[in-house]
């Protein structure tokens, strides 16, 4: 990827650090994706990325790459260096020991264990610190980590595949395949970078899907997967309609099954069953409770791949952060299944409001990406 910033500017080097961070796009959770480059005399002398929880952080890799040349150099880091000892030693201390002269930080760490302490440690050691360089680009690397640290919940991306007339299936329920193979491969990217995939019992009964990243489609040209980290599958089955013979319960990969009442079936050891907390009014699973629970389990990004009812409930309750719609050049007719089941809104301003952030062709299909505006944000914008 070309670097659009002036040569040797802080933005130029930070853009390079952001590219380093993207190497961990599919592998770092529950940790954030972080990149670091070290520069001396306008020359790159070290680069590194955090690739997996429990392994060295980006700063450590970059310092090892730079060696003794790191003394007096400038380190560019996409996220504030950590100041606490977790599974690895603090990176702020490593930068101090390396005797770098300056550290440029894109954004403050939202983790309350860090949150300014790393920057203070550097400054106390006499290291010059510059903050706020390409902050928005750095934040875009870690929406799930930021949201979990600030709100306790994962970032929710809802995926829909629909026809030109907004249908997700024929009237008889047939839905495979509305979109083409390129769009289906594109979905693998989102699954691969997600900590979990959430669906409902209706989708599992209808399609018997695995909801795993498909290895044959996981060779992404930009950041090839050195290992295929499979997402946790989360399935809501309050009425216990699903049986242990279904594909996702027999592939050895973990499933979190949310049920109501005494368990009717025995599942394999890969399936963890948790009792649902029901919403008092609807007597359906409390989606806010579920997101809180997934946040407690350290999940940063949640991929919602469900039917019209569950997807509509998430959207109506303002629990979707990002909506990704793949639209195929097909027309399924007025008796087809609509893409979302939503309440009968009486006023336009009651309906969910979306802001498009990306639009692109995926072969013959179109992928549209929207940020879902909260009611307060929508009112302010209006």
Is 106 annotated among the ligand-binding residues? no
Architecture of domain 10-141: 3-Layer(aba) Sandwich (3.40)
What pLDDT is stored for residue 169 in this prediction? 84
Is 207 annotated among the ligand-binding residues? yes
What pLDDT is stored for residue 291 in this prediction? 98
What pLDDT is stored for residue 125 in this prediction? 95
Is 363 annotated among the ligand-binding residues? no
What pLDDT is stored for residue 1 in this prediction? 60
pTM for the structure as a whole: 0.90
Residues identified as active-site: 59
From the number of C-beta atoms within 10 Å of its C-beta (0-12, 13-18, 19+), residue 142 rates as: buried
Residues of the chain with pLDDT below 50 are 378-382
- With H, G, I as helix, E, B as strand and everything else as coil, classify residue 323: strand
- What are the Cα distances from residue 315, in Å, to 310, 344, 348? 9, 14, 15
What's the CATH superfamily of 144-380?
Dihydrofolate Reductase, subunit A (3.40.430.10)
What pLDDT is stored for residue 380 in this prediction? 47
Is 11 annotated among the ligand-binding residues? no
- What are the Cα distances from residue 225, in Å, to 34, 77, 218, 220, 329? 17, 23, 7, 7, 31
Q: CB of 320 within 8 A of CB of 156? A: yes
Is 162 annotated among the ligand-binding residues? no
Tens-digit pLDDT profile for residues 271-321: 999 999 998 888 899 999 999 999 999 999 999 999 999 999 999 999 999
Domain residue ranges in the chain: 10-141, 144-380
CA 107, distance to chain mean position in Å, is 18
């Amino acid at each position: 990827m070309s670097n659009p910033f002036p040569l040797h500017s802080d933005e130029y080097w930070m853009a390079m650090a952001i590219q380093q961070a993207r190497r961990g796009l599919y592998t770092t959770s529950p940790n954030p994706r972080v990149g670091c480059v070290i520069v001396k005399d306008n020359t790159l002398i070290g680069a590194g990325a955090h690739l997996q929880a429990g392994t060295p952080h980006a700063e450590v890799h970059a310092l090892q790459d730079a060696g003794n040349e790191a003394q007096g150099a400038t380190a560019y880091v996409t996220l504030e260096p950590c100041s606490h000892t977790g599974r690895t030693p603090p990176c702020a201390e490593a930068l101090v020991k390396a005797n770098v002269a300056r550290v440029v930080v894109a954004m403050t760490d939202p983790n309350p264990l860090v949150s300014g302490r790393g920057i203070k440690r550097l400054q106390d050691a006499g290291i010059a610190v510059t903050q706020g360089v390409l902050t928005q680009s750095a934040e875009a690397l870690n929406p799930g980590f930021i949201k979990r640290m600030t709100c306790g919940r994962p970032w929710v991306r809802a995926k829909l595949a629909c026809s030109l007339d907004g249908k997700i299936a024929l009237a008889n329920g047939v839905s495979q395949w509305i979109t083409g193979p390129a769009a289906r491969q594109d979905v693998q990217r989102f699954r691969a970078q997600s900590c979990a995939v959430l669906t409902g019992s209706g989708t599992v009964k209808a399609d018997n899907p695995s909801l795993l990243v498909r290895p044959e489609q996981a060779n992404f040209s930009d950041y090839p997967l050195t290992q295929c980290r499979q997402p946790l599958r989360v399935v809501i089955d309050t009425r216990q309609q699903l049986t242990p013979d279904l594909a996702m319960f027999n592939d050895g990969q973990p499933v979190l099954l949310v049920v109501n009442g005494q368990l009717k079936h025995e599942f394999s050891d890969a399936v963890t069953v948790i009792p649902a907390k029901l919403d008092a009014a609807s007597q359906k699973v409390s989606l806010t409770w579920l997101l809180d629970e997934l946040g407690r389990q350290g999940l940063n990004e949640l991929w919602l791949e469900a039917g019209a009812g569950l997807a509509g409930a998430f959207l109506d309750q303002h629990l979707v952060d990002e909506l990704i719609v793949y639209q195929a050049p097909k027309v399924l007719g007025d008796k087809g299944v609509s893409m979302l089941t939503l309440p009968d809104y009486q006023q336009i301003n009651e309906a969910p409001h979306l802001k498009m952030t990306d639009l692109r062709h995926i072969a013959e299909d179109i992928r549209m990406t929207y940020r879902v505006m909260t009611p307060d944000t929508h009112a302010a914008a209006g």
